[in-house]
Chains A and B, each alone.
Chain A
Amino acid sequence: MNTISQILSAGFLFGSTWFSGWWLTRLLGVAHNWERLGLAGLLGSAWLTIVLLAAHLGLRIPFTAELVGAVLIFNLVSLGTLYKLQGGRWFELAFITKFFVLPVWQQILVVLVIVPVVLSLIPNVVWPVTDWDALALYDFRAKVLIAEGSWKSGFTLGYFFQYPPFTSLLHAANYALGFQAAKVWYTLIYLSFVITFYALLRRRTTRGVSLFGAVLLAYSPHFLEHATVAYTNLAYSAFLALGIVYLWLAGDRKTPSRDWLVGTLLVALSLWVRSSEPFWVVGAGLLTIAVLRQRSWSVAVGGVFVLYGAKRAWLNLVYLISQSPVQVALPNNEQSQQTNLGTKLLSIISQVIPVSYLHILTQPLSTQGSHILAVFRYLLAYVWPLINYLFVPWLAVQWHDLRHQNWYRLLVMNGTIWATLILIFTGTYIFSFVFVTWDQIGGSVMRMSMFLVALIWFYILSCPVWNNWFKET
């Protein structure tokens, strides 16, 4: 396919995705324009992959350019129609021109945010996918899907269904339309992440501090690196971190708001990217706080149900792809045999509490102690560097919240961060008993924990102290 055709294909693909996401944000009731702009990329790409897979599996259509084109047009027509029925106007992007009336120093910050995004586009367009895990799994699945038209042959290949299909389907959509540069998606996800982060900060603090926060996030070394790497970690961090922030904001009110819906959706979509990590439990925990603060039983129950469903979604889809309740090489060695209610309940509980590993507690204390020390050293080597430069501001803000008795920020928001760290420690501790080579994939635990950086920055910068310390002119 020549260059002009590729550019047109890319324009159609990314434009349709972004507009679909923009209209979706309206349908979800997202009120703020900058939030809508940021969420458009994330929600649009997630919606695209869900509809693609639904059409491919449900309607049994081979995965081809025609399928992708039809889905893109379907998204535009359906979401556009619903959008207009809700009274939306086609072009509501006039708010972007406010850039020109900003103070100069804020314009500089905006430019600083845009620069890494634009620069990340260059290697993402030029270089093919070569990242190790992408070739072994994510991009390989896209390759098979395009070559075979389906994933059925994947059952004979090991290491194929380890992770949910989000990034694989994005790559496949690219390849189906003849635009090879699949890594452009990561620039879109990166941009969406930064814009949404800014918009959420803006709800709590001044524009200047919010822009500064966006710069800090945009240039955060790990996020910047992953903007040009075809892994799932950036998308996972974006969905999870933003989802948790939405749930924070939702809980810090007297009455329920749409933030519960958006937050739950984003955390659920993080499970559409990666489902092995247990951090969705944090989202479930925040939802249960809704009961305590707002007496929102329906929000809590419905939200937890959605999250648990999202956790099981990929496994259930794998069964659907196989079209038979057979034992296949699934993550966590899940079995599809018929079980009684007790076993089913145990299975559900084990998604939250690793009951099958409780036998570890029967190990001798000296063994447990040595494992604890080893895990501590391991996390000090790989997780601490992620957050060490944030530690002093983070401590200062915790002290401020304690001094001013801002219990929601201290116990819920800050508590979420500490709970996540405890989860990481506990999970790694369990791993140390299960896998002999548990301490040889330090890069993996670092990537898994990346979303903490966004959460900690949000907690720090949303502190009310900055509103008094810094008066914008």
Chain B
Amino acid sequence: MPSVTVTQPRNGGAGLKKTLPLWLLLIFGLFAGVNTWTAVKYPFDPAVAAGYQVALILILVCGVQFTTTSWQSRFLKGVGLLLGGVALALVFQVGCLVVNIYRFDVPGWFFTLKLHRLITLPFWYLLRWLLLAVGLWWSLKFDLRPYIKIKLWSAVALLMLAVGVWQLQLGMSQLLSTSVRALQNLPTPYFERITSQLGGVHYYGWIWPYSQFIKRITPENAVIVLPPQSDDWKMEGNVEYLRWYLYPRRLVHMMADNQIPPNAEYILIAKGECINVECGWPKITIPARQVEFLSFIDRDSQAETLIRNEGYDPIKYQDFWGILKLKR
């Protein structure tokens, strides 16, 4: 990098000093808001992410240029460094977008080019580059020259500022989306929010209605046999986890060779996630003479069914959720 001096801008921008906080808040709010509602993560590759961060920093720096504090001389020196970085990022990105070697005789080749991804990018992505261009124009307006004298601490400070802006944008967007989602669940009764918080009845939120169903069927001093703890029964097979939902009921596992513990009173019927093993648990047949009743809950409608005088068939009930009571 060449070593040069930096001249002060002609116009210190004193007229805009009072509105600076509004501009900064607008910019950050714009990014945070857009990211919240689009829920978009950093796309594609590090060069793009780096260019994005540099754009944000440059916008902030240009905004700071409107002040007349001694920040100016320091940041002016750093902006040159940023411009160099932006130029590199742009070159790299454009290079990634167009330099591809594909077989153009294959149908649909155009859709494999990275150029296609540029065309189909959402507006918010292009907006960042628009803001970068506006920021650069502001810099030129204040007579910023791309000659700088690099000083380590300005570069380090700008790097930390980049970290701060990155964290700010990421944190703000995550917090806003989390808060909005939380407020949307405010009308729901307190503990029923667990279902929504854990992704709904077709995801881990199923544990709330399922556990409440078990609580309704079983007395507080019940001993309940759970499926084995595994990826297929992450929650319903984990004693330490499920006990929060079912306390003070005692939760146990099957003994060796799928033997029912002698003190067991109830056995969960759990379809599971069917990842590593076939659906359904328990895997053993329990004859009708040992079963007082079978009670099921439908995952979609949460309708409950009670069946008496029938044994448990692992094949017939492999897709069911419920609980069975053993005869004493």
Instruction: Kindly identify, within residues 244 to 270 of chain A, every residue whose CB is under 8 Å from any CB belonging to chain B.
Output: none
A472 to chain B, nearest CB (A): 8
User: B92 contacts the other chain (Cβ, under 8 Å)?
Assistant: no
Bound CA–CA A137/B244 (angstroms):
9
Bound CA–CA A159/B70 (angstroms):
59
B232 to chain A, nearest CB (A): 17
Chain B 148-177 per-residue mask, 1 if CB under 8 angstroms from chain A, else 0? 000011101101100110111011101110
For B167, the chain A residues whose CB sits under 8 A away are 216, 219-221
User: What is the size, in residues, of chain B's interface with A at 8 Å between Cβ atoms?
Assistant: 48
Instruction: Kindly identify, within residues 120 to 158 of chain A, every residue whose CB is under 8 Å from any CB belonging to chain B.
Output: 120, 122-123, 125-128, 130, 132, 135-137, 139-140, 143-144, 147, 153, 157-158
Chain B 20-50 per-residue mask, 1 if CB under 8 angstroms from chain A, else 0? 1100110000000000000000000000000
- Total A-B residue contacts, Cβ distance less than 8 Å: 118
A471 and B21 contact, CB distance less than 8 A: no
Chain A 221-232 per-residue mask, 1 if CB under 8 angstroms from chain B, else 0? 100100010000
Partner of A136, one of B154, B183, B191, B244: B244
For A390, the chain B residues whose CB sits under 8 A away are 163
User: B128 contacts the other chain (Cβ, under 8 Å)?
Assistant: no
Segment among A31-39, A72-80, A108-116, A332-340 that sits at the interface with chain B = A108-116
Partner of A128, one of B171, B193, B248: B193
A140-B193 in contact given A122-B183, A396-B156, A469-B74 (Cβ < 8 Å): no
For B240, the chain A residues whose CB sits under 8 A away are 136-137, 140, 158-159
A392 and B156 contact, CB distance less than 8 A: yes
For B100, the chain A residues whose CB sits under 8 A away are none
Residue of chain B at shortest CB distance from A148? B248
User: A324 contacts the other chain (Cβ, under 8 Å)?
Assistant: no
Chain A 394-430 per-residue mask, 1 if CB under 8 angstroms from chain B, else 0? 0010000000000000000000000000000000000
A469 and B168 contact, CB distance less than 8 A: no
User: B186 contacts the other chain (Cβ, under 8 Å)?
Assistant: yes
B163 and A389 contact, CB distance less than 8 A: yes
For A119, the chain B residues whose CB sits under 8 A away are 175-176, 178-179
Bound CA–CA A396/B183 (angstroms):
44
Chain A 47-84 per-residue mask, 1 if CB under 8 angstroms from chain B, else 0? 00000000000000000000000000000000000000
User: B276 contacts the other chain (Cβ, under 8 Å)?
Assistant: no
Partner of B248, one of A104, A147, A473: A147
User: B109 contacts the other chain (Cβ, under 8 Å)?
Assistant: no
Bound CA–CA A112/B168 (angstroms):
9
B175 and A116 contact, CB distance less than 8 A: yes
User: What is the size, in residues, of chain A's interface with B at 8 Å between Cβ atoms?
Assistant: 51
Interface-centre pick from B74, B167, B238 (highest chain A CB count, 10 A): B167
Bound CA–CA A135/B197 (angstroms):
14
User: B302 contacts the other chain (Cβ, under 8 Å)?
Assistant: no
A140-B70 in contact given A104-B20, A128-B193, A212-B164 (Cβ < 8 Å): no
A122 to chain B, nearest CB (A): 4
A108 and B21 contact, CB distance less than 8 A: yes
Q: Label chain A's interface by main secondary structure.
A: helix
User: A107 contacts the other chain (Cβ, under 8 Å)?
Assistant: yes
A392-B159 in contact given A143-B244, A469-B74 (Cβ < 8 Å): yes
User: A215 contacts the other chain (Cβ, under 8 Å)?
Assistant: yes
A99 to chain B, nearest CB (A): 14
Q: Label chain B's interface by main secondary structure.
A: helix
Interface-centre pick from A136, A153, A159, A471 (highest chain B CB count, 10 A): A136
A113 to chain B, nearest CB (A): 11
Bound CA–CA A31/B119 (angstroms):
60
For B166, the chain A residues whose CB sits under 8 A away are 389
Chain B 106-133 per-residue mask, 1 if CB under 8 angstroms from chain A, else 0? 0000000000000000000000000000
User: B307 contacts the other chain (Cβ, under 8 Å)?
Assistant: no
Bound CA–CA A461/B121 (angstroms):
39
B244 and A127 contact, CB distance less than 8 A: no
User: B182 contacts the other chain (Cβ, under 8 Å)?
Assistant: yes
Residue of chain A at shortest CB distance from B176? A119
B188 to chain A, nearest CB (A): 9
User: A435 contacts the other chain (Cβ, under 8 Å)?
Assistant: no
User: A180 contacts the other chain (Cβ, under 8 Å)?
Assistant: yes
A393 and B247 contact, CB distance less than 8 A: no
Bound CA–CA A107/B181 (angstroms):
29
User: A91 contacts the other chain (Cβ, under 8 Å)?
Assistant: no
A396-B152 in contact given A127-B193, A128-B194, A219-B171 (Cβ < 8 Å): yes
B179 and A221 contact, CB distance less than 8 A: no
Bound CA–CA A130/B241 (angstroms):
10
B223 to chain A, nearest CB (A): 13
Partner of A224, one of B171, B239, B245: B171
Bound CA–CA A460/B159 (angstroms):
13
B69 and A130 contact, CB distance less than 8 A: no
Residue of chain B at shortest CB distance from A180? B190
For B179, the chain A residues whose CB sits under 8 A away are 119, 122-123
User: A292 contacts the other chain (Cβ, under 8 Å)?
Assistant: no
A139 and B244 contact, CB distance less than 8 A: yes
For A100, the chain B residues whose CB sits under 8 A away are none
B59 to chain A, nearest CB (A): 15
B153 and A465 contact, CB distance less than 8 A: yes
For A120, the chain B residues whose CB sits under 8 A away are 175
For B160, the chain A residues whose CB sits under 8 A away are 212, 216, 393, 460
User: A470 contacts the other chain (Cβ, under 8 Å)?
Assistant: yes
User: B185 contacts the other chain (Cβ, under 8 Å)?
Assistant: yes
Partner of B247, one of A132, A137, A140, A212: A140
For B159, the chain A residues whose CB sits under 8 A away are 392-393
A216 and B163 contact, CB distance less than 8 A: yes
B178 and A219 contact, CB distance less than 8 A: no
B194 and A147 contact, CB distance less than 8 A: no
A126 and B191 contact, CB distance less than 8 A: no
Instruction: Kindly identify, within residues 360 to 390 of chain A, every residue whose CB is under 8 Å from any CB belonging to chain B.
Output: 389-390
Residue of chain B at shortest CB distance from A104? B21
A123 and B20 contact, CB distance less than 8 A: no
B157 to chain A, nearest CB (A): 7
Partner of A473, one of B69, B164, B181, B244: B69
B132 to chain A, nearest CB (A): 22
User: B243 contacts the other chain (Cβ, under 8 Å)?
Assistant: yes
Partner of A126, one of B74, B175, B176, B183: B183
Residue of chain B at shortest CB distance from A139? B244
Partner of B197, one of A122, A125, A127, A212: A127
A219 and B182 contact, CB distance less than 8 A: no
User: B91 contacts the other chain (Cβ, under 8 Å)?
Assistant: no
For A157, the chain B residues whose CB sits under 8 A away are 243
Bound CA–CA A393/B186 (angstroms):
43
Instruction: Kindly identify, within residues 1 to 32 of chain B, every residue whose CB is under 8 Å from any CB belonging to chain A.
Output: 20-21, 24-25
Beyond the given pairs A104-B21, A120-B175, 16 more chain A to chain B contacts, judged by CB atoms under 8 angstroms and listed by A's residue number, are A112-B168, A115-B175, A119-B176, A127-B182, A127-B185, A135-B244, A137-B240, A140-B243, A157-B243, A159-B240, A219-B170, A228-B178, A390-B163, A393-B156, A396-B153, A465-B153
Query: Can you give 12 A-B contacts (C-beta < 8 A)?
Result: A104-B21, A105-B20, A108-B25, A119-B176, A122-B179, A127-B185, A130-B197, A137-B240, A153-B248, A157-B243, A158-B239, A393-B160
Closest 4 CB pairs of A and B: A219-B167, A126-B182, A135-B244, A136-B240
